[in-house]
């Protein structure tokens, strides 16, 4: 066996180890977020690599997010919301950028703003007054917010839904937040529950609900076990090839 062949085998084993480690990190992140509201699982897509020096091996090419809707759970907070269908809530980041999320775990802050758990303001067409007896998201799915003052309910604003032509092109920035990119297309914002001009529809907004993570724990655990075994085999192949390389060097002396 030539030195070039042994080097190529070492490269393939190393490539396999790194690929399995990267994939295992991704699976571990999915499992860590199994209880994170609105979290979307992801998977790595790998591609064979080719260079002039070495043929073979794999590398992570893209991260693909699974945007399937999670199940809903009922809460006691009327400002907890879900989007039933396609779309995202828009929130304002501290640097002024607009981010998008499926995490509707909103609440009222000390300034009367509707904010995320991290304090990012929901972008919507209204404000909450300082004093009211109750608040609700109307059950018609339009994202209309009403408050009760005394014996009277009145509308104070409406939350819109934002869609993208290619959600897979959104850029994740952590904390369940996404940014628009050239690949995702421009944000398209309209009334919740309406039909989009480009096809499809804007999801309905419902209150007293939260969207669970869409991570399938059983599938992720099975994948983690397979990746651990594959990593072990890659390490073993690397070690055995390295030993063969050492023996070959000794025989030359």
Query: Same domain, yes or no, for 83 and 110?
Result: yes
Query: Same domain, yes or no, for 80 and 202?
Result: yes
| pLDDT higher than 70, residue 10 | no
Query: Same domain, yes or no, for 113 and 179?
Result: yes
- Banded pLDDT at 53 (limits 50, 70, 90): very low
Question: How far is residue 184's CA from residue 176's CA, in Å, rounded to a whole number?
Answer: 17
Question: How far is residue 139's CA from residue 81's CA, in Å, rounded to a whole number?
Answer: 11
- Banded pLDDT at 83 (limits 50, 70, 90): very high
Query: Same domain, yes or no, for 134 and 121?
Result: yes
Q: Please provide the size of the chain in residues.
A: 253
Name which of 39-53, 118-132, 134-148 the model is least confident about. 39-53
- pLDDT tens per residue, range 129-175: 989 999 999 999 999 999 999 999 999 999 999 999 999 999 999 89
| pLDDT higher than 60, residue 39 | yes
Res 54: pLDDT:
47
Query: Same domain, yes or no, for 108 and 171?
Result: yes
Given a contact cutoff of 8 angstroms between Cβ atoms, the answer to whether 231 and 243 are in contact is: no
Mean pLDDT of 98-118: 94
Query: Same domain, yes or no, for 118 and 227?
Result: no
Query: Same domain, yes or no, for 94 and 174?
Result: yes
Given a contact cutoff of 8 angstroms between Cβ atoms, the answer to whether 33 and 39 are in contact is: yes
- pLDDT tens per residue, range 54-80: 455 555 556 788 888 999 999 999 999
> What does residue 221 show for φ and ψ, rounded to 5 degrees?
-65, -45
Number of neighbours of residue 35 by Cβ within 10 angstroms:
10
The model carries a pTM of: 0.81
Res 45: pLDDT:
76
Domain of residue 135: give its range: 72-211
Query: Same domain, yes or no, for 174 and 77?
Result: yes
Count: domains in the chain: 2
Query: Same domain, yes or no, for 194 and 222?
Result: no
Res 66: pLDDT:
86
| pLDDT higher than 60, residue 112 | yes
- pLDDT tens per residue, range 190-231: 999 999 887 789 999 999 999 999 999 999 999 888 888 877
Percent of the chain with pLDDT over 90: 61
Res 207: pLDDT:
97
Query: Same domain, yes or no, for 63 and 96?
Result: no
| pLDDT higher than 60, residue 235 | yes
**Please, which residues bridge with residue 167 across strands?**
none
Res 229: pLDDT:
83
> Interior CA angle at 82 toward 208 and 106, to 5°?
70
Query: Same domain, yes or no, for 109 and 33?
Result: no
């Amino acid at each position: 066996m030539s030195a070039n062949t042994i080097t190529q085998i070492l490269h393939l084993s190393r490539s396999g180890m790194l690929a399995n480690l990267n994939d295992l990190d991704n699976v571990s992140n999915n499992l860590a977020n199994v209880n994170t509201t609105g979290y979307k699982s992801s998977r790595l897509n790998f591609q064979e690599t080719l260079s002039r020096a070495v043929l073979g091996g794999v590398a992570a090419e893209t991260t693909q997010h699974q945007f399937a809707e999670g199940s809903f759970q009922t809460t006691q907070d009327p400002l907890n919301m879900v989007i039933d269908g396609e779309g995202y809530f828009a929130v304002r980041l501290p640097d002024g950028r607009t981010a998008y999320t499926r995490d509707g775990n909103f609440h009222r802050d000390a300034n009367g703003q509707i904010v995320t758990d991290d304090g990012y303001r929901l972008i919507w067409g209204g404000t909450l007054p300082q004093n009211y007896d109750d608040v609700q998201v109307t059950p018609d799915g339009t994202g209309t917010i009403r408050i009760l003052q005394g014996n009277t309910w009145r509308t104070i604003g409406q939350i819109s839904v934002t869609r993208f032509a290619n959600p897979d092109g959104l850029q994740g920035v952590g904390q369940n937040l996404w940014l628009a990119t050239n690949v995702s297309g421009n944000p398209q914002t309209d009334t919740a529950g309406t039909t989009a001009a480009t096809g499809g529809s804007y999801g309905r907004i419902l209150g007293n609900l939260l969207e669970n993570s869409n991570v399938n724990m059983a599938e992720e655990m099975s994948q983690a076990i397979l990746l651990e075994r594959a990593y072990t085999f890659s390490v073993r192949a690397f070690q055995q090839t390295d030993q063969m390389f050492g023996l070959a060097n000794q025989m030359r002396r």
